[in-house]
Structure 1
Amino acid sequence: MNRLKCCFIAGSVIGAVACALGIILIPVGDYVIGSTVKKEAVLEEGTTAYGNWISAGAPVYRQFWLFNVQNPDEVLNNGSIPQLLQKGPYTYRTRFIPKENVTFFPNHTVSFLLPSGAIFEPSMSVGAEEDMVTSLNIAVAGVYSLVNHKVANMMIQLSGSSLFQTRTVKELLWGYRDPMLKGQLGVFYPYNGTYDGPYSVFTGKDDISKVSTIDSWNHMQSMSYWNNTYCDMINGTDGSSFSPFLEKKTPLYFFSSDICRSVSAVFEESLDLKGITVYRYMLPSNTFASPAENPDNQCYCISNETTRNCTVAGVLDVSTCKGTPVLISLPHFLHGSKEMLDLVHGLNPNPEEHSTYLDVEPITGFTLRFAKRLQVNMMYGPSKDIKILNKVKQTTIFPILWLNETAALDDETAAMFKAELFSRMDTLELVQIVLIAAGAVMLVLSLIGVCVVKRRSHLSYVA
């Protein structure tokens, strides 16, 4: 009887120790995982973050939808509202060239240039680059906004230009020789062979909370385009990654050189991406709102004509940054003022198709899927001095095209990601559960055994 009692006591001790060890492993395991994640998130050679950062791990595509004008003659001759039909997608692979001039500095920053390149992907497109599209003549829209209208009329008439032109998709995107300006023009001309940057970002070596945060862009720690300290700030990362251990309530900030400003994204929902839990962050609907709705946007309102004295929502004038009279919006004027939709027909804003989002893995801070969606617009309106605009009735913000820059985690990278990070976490969690559960069961059963033996011993003694 005493021997059995000793066995039960030993079992209870072993169970208690196992249970305690499992409990102790929780903070220890969290520490080990945290240390591993922080180490691998640093931007330095040999880390997981560096390998994905130096060159995009998944293919990045830019899809373009161009707005084809159905009634150009009616617009010019009768002042009719333009009828638009989007044509696309025309898809190009981009961001396939690794970062260049990568240089590390003692203050834990790294600088680099981001090369630009585009390769047409016929299998992901609705047609060929040679497809014809009737669109706004960007040269005419440019002189309308920038040049004295009497001079502009002379330039337009001498070159035989009109408000609309028909060109190939390739020409409209990447460039053609314009007969009026006698030079190359295109919505994205020049692109191939050019660079964005230089950028300087923090490596996170001394402070992981700063990893990938932009220190400077184009040698500027703040911009000078908006003439305002707040709007000229360069906040956050470039959107490809963020600091580890995200919290849902904390917005993510990132800078986009395409729109010459920083924006925030807020948590929307948790999703499953190839077996990995990601947090979806989306641009708030008031990102391009009028100052009346979002006072923080007051300093982005630089043109009273474009925004009707800062009352029109949905467009951002980037002319001071880009050097051309370009207006940026969300596709189909999503979240924009109704009057913009009333002045062109054929747009159908849809949050599911036209919103920008980031799917970020919350432990590492890596962006595993994203869709950056923007629309390029220009403006024209009535003019008594420009003959081809004599019949135009309303100042119109005209959509030329919208784009979706997108990338998503592939199966191979997902498997690697799960094997290197989550398999370790799952194994550690399993060990913790087994130790706690087995230890607790052994402890309870052993204590019950001790009580039973003690009771029997007592009954034997009484008898």
Structure 2
Amino acid sequence: MGMICGVVISVIGAVLVIVISSVGYAVIPGIVERSIINEITLINDTIQLERFMTVPFPLNFTVRLWNITNRDEVLAGAVPVMTEAGPYIYKLHQQRIIDELDESNITYRILNHFEFDPIASYPNTEDDIVTMINIPYHAIIQVAETLFPGSTITQLLNPFLGSVFGEFNTPIAPFRVRDVLFDGIPICQSSGIPAATICQLIRSMSDDTQNMEPQQDGSLLFSLVGYRNGNPSHTYVASRGLDDHADLGRIFLYNNLTSLRFWKDPEGEIGGGGVCNMINGTDSGIFAPFLTEDTILYALNTDICRSVKLQYQQDSEYEGIPTMRFAANEWFLNNDDGCFCLNMTHGINQENGCLLHGAIELFTCTGAYMVLTNPHFLFADIRYRNGVIGMTPNVDQHRIFLDLEPNTGILVRGAKRAQFNVFMRSVAGITATQNLRTTLTPIFWVEEGMSLPEKYVDEIKSNLLSSLNLIRILVPVLIAVSTLILVIGLAVIVIVKMRMSKEQPITMPVTRPAFTT
């Protein structure tokens, strides 16, 4: 009886080990994976689609303007001494206007609304006055220099700059924060004939300049980010992730084009195909699930007219949620492919006309001779950083990074960061610029960031992590219990056999007596 009992227990234990191992490590992960896919893909009438359409909490849009503390000395040829003014923090309310939903793709436009946050920005206000490089001034005289080589035209332009720029007719000027960011700096308010001729040229340039807005009275307003406030973007066509979850959010078309038109193609022509014009990745609001250390992420950033590559850096954690950190390091602005070199922006360049490492010209993107770098010239050639005083680059504070929950691809914390600069230099025929030292001068840097609010952190913990942790703990425990049952069954068999061998009677061999005859 004991032997039978041991065999039964052993069989039960072995069966349980096999079944639980198979179910726990083969079946259940597939069920969990399917559940995650159903939660994060853009299925009709789901919370995920609703949150994709309207981000349920404001993002943080933080601006730091670069204040020039020694204006008079710089105009006389000194090195600019820069200090950060700010932060000026805005609540960024973001929604996606859905134009079309088909079986595989979603067509939408992004609409942003900026709301100044006086509490988070305190003691800084939008009425602060900051002494900055005069962006429209330098942009216009440098474009004139390019369009009309030689000093004749710019010499004719010089006497009438006051009519064009008014009180801001200087290479470095004091600006109200709200004006320079959103409301705009007035240009071409004068009605004089010479100024009108010049302004007609400027207006023709404004069609390709996102920062310049024509007014009904014929004047223009220049602002740094006003064009983003309340104006829908061009259309995106992206995957809903229904056919393949790995394509979730991946953009196939932007502005009805399969590639961008801002950078050089393999033949060296601007506006064709090529690596730099490729539309890669998502709009950074959504990512595919099941990330690994080998995953490479891409995000299309239309403010800088290119996709950004992010690679795994380290495991991290946010409010108890295990995350993976992806970041854009020195490769972001390295221009190794050569197609980001436009040879249109003149200042401190390589012999071939390209900018130095860590800087990308943005003329074809913005319509002005702006230069993109990381904040504080992080990862940029030391010659740019040494051209001004006040740069203190820090990897953690100034690079682009994303922290994502690896199972779902949900972004729990991140920051898109960029610094915009312009070459401050002398322009032939423009008197006010003759003593200027050539420097890549920072204008401002921005951080568009988010940290997942507590409500949604708790949601991830309760809906996802608790289930994953339960599976992670429960399956090994059940296997251990089943193994224990198997061991007990085997032990019973061994014990029974030992007892049976002890209780078996010992029989002595019988010897027959020998008979002799």
For normalisation by structure 2, the TM-score amounts to: 0.84
The CA distance in 2 between the partners of 1:155 and 1:43, in whole Å, is: 56
Is the contact between residue 315 and residue 329 of structure 1 (CA under 8 Å) also seen in structure 2? Answer: yes
- Cα RMSD over matched residues? 1.8
- Structure 1 residues 451 and 151: alpha-carbon distance in aligned structure 2, compared to 1, 3 A threshold: farther
- Segments of 5+ residues of structure 1 without an aligned counterpart are none
- Structure 1 residues 218 and 311: alpha-carbon distance in aligned structure 2, compared to 1, 3 A threshold: closer
SS of equivalent to 1:404: strand
Q: Select the residue among 200, 210, 227 that pairs with 2:237.
A: 200
Higher alpha-carbon Rg: 2
Q: Does 1:153 align with 2:197?
A: no
Is the contact between residue 143 and residue 152 of structure 1 (CA under 8 Å) also seen in structure 2? Answer: no
For normalisation by structure 1, the TM-score amounts to: 0.93
Letter of the structure 2 residue corresponding to residue 283 of structure 1: A
- Structure 1 residues 448 and 337: alpha-carbon distance in aligned structure 2, compared to 1, 3 A threshold: same
- More displaced 10-residue stretch of structure 1: 78-87 or 177-186: 177-186
- Structure 1 residues 299 and 128: alpha-carbon distance in aligned structure 2, compared to 1, 3 A threshold: closer
Counterpart mapping for 1:36-435 below 5 A: 36-76=35-75, 78-94=76-92, 96-106=93-103, 108-126=104-122, 127-148=124-145, 149-158=154-163, 159=166, 161-180=169-188, 182-228=219-265, 229-289=274-334, 291=335, 295-303=336-344, 305-306=346-347, 307-308=349-350, 309-394=353-438, 396-435=439-478
- Structure 1 residues 155 and 399: alpha-carbon distance in aligned structure 2, compared to 1, 3 A threshold: farther
- More displaced 10-residue stretch of structure 1: 187-196 or 51-60: 51-60
SS of equivalent to 1:171: helix
1:386 offset after TM fit, Å? Answer: 0.3
For residues 229-268 of structure 1, the C-alpha deviation after alignment (integer angstroms, 9 at most, x for no partner) is: 2111101111222222112123111111011011211110
Identity value in percent: 26
The CA distance in 1 between the partners of 2:452 and 2:95, in whole Å, is: 18
Counterpart mapping for 1:433-444 below 5 A: 433-444=476-487
Letter of the structure 2 residue corresponding to residue 310 of structure 1: C
- Structure 1 residues 138 and 304: alpha-carbon distance in aligned structure 2, compared to 1, 3 A threshold: closer
- Structure 1 residues 50 and 7: alpha-carbon distance in aligned structure 2, compared to 1, 3 A threshold: same
Is the contact between residue 144 and residue 380 of structure 1 (CA under 8 Å) also seen in structure 2? Answer: no
Q: Number of residues paired by the alignment?
A: 453
1:281 offset after TM fit, Å? Answer: 0.5
SS of equivalent to 1:391: coil
The CA distance in 2 between the partners of 1:408 and 1:297, in whole Å, is: 35
Letter of the structure 2 residue corresponding to residue 335 of structure 1: F
The CA distance in 1 between the partners of 2:223 and 2:345, in whole Å, is: 26
Is the contact between residue 21 and residue 435 of structure 1 (CA under 8 Å) also seen in structure 2? Answer: no
SS of equivalent to 1:61: strand
- Segments of 5+ residues of structure 2 without an aligned counterpart are 146-153, 189-198, 200-218, 266-273, 507-517
- Structure 1 residues 105 and 415: alpha-carbon distance in aligned structure 2, compared to 1, 3 A threshold: same
Is the contact between residue 310 and residue 328 of structure 2 (CA under 8 Å) also seen in structure 1? Answer: yes
- Structure 1 residues 113 and 311: alpha-carbon distance in aligned structure 2, compared to 1, 3 A threshold: closer
For residues 263-295 of structure 1, the C-alpha deviation after alignment (integer angstroms, 9 at most, x for no partner) is: 211110001112221110110212212x4xxx2
1:152 offset after TM fit, Å? Answer: 4.2
The CA distance in 2 between the partners of 1:172 and 1:311, in whole Å, is: 27
1:378 offset after TM fit, Å? Answer: 1.7
Aligned to 2:209: none
The CA distance in 1 between the partners of 2:452 and 2:284, in whole Å, is: 15
Aligned to 1:31: 30
Is the contact between residue 377 and residue 385 of structure 2 (CA under 8 Å) also seen in structure 1? Answer: yes
The CA distance in 1 between the partners of 2:343 and 2:239, in whole Å, is: 32
The CA distance in 2 between the partners of 1:449 and 1:5, in whole Å, is: 7
Is the contact between residue 263 and residue 339 of structure 2 (CA under 8 Å) also seen in structure 1? Answer: no
- More displaced 10-residue stretch of structure 1: 28-37 or 181-190: 181-190
- Structure 1 residues 85 and 356: alpha-carbon distance in aligned structure 2, compared to 1, 3 A threshold: same
Is the contact between residue 267 and residue 279 of structure 1 (CA under 8 Å) also seen in structure 2? Answer: yes
For residues 108-143 of structure 1, the C-alpha deviation after alignment (integer angstroms, 9 at most, x for no partner) is: 110111002100111111411111111111221111
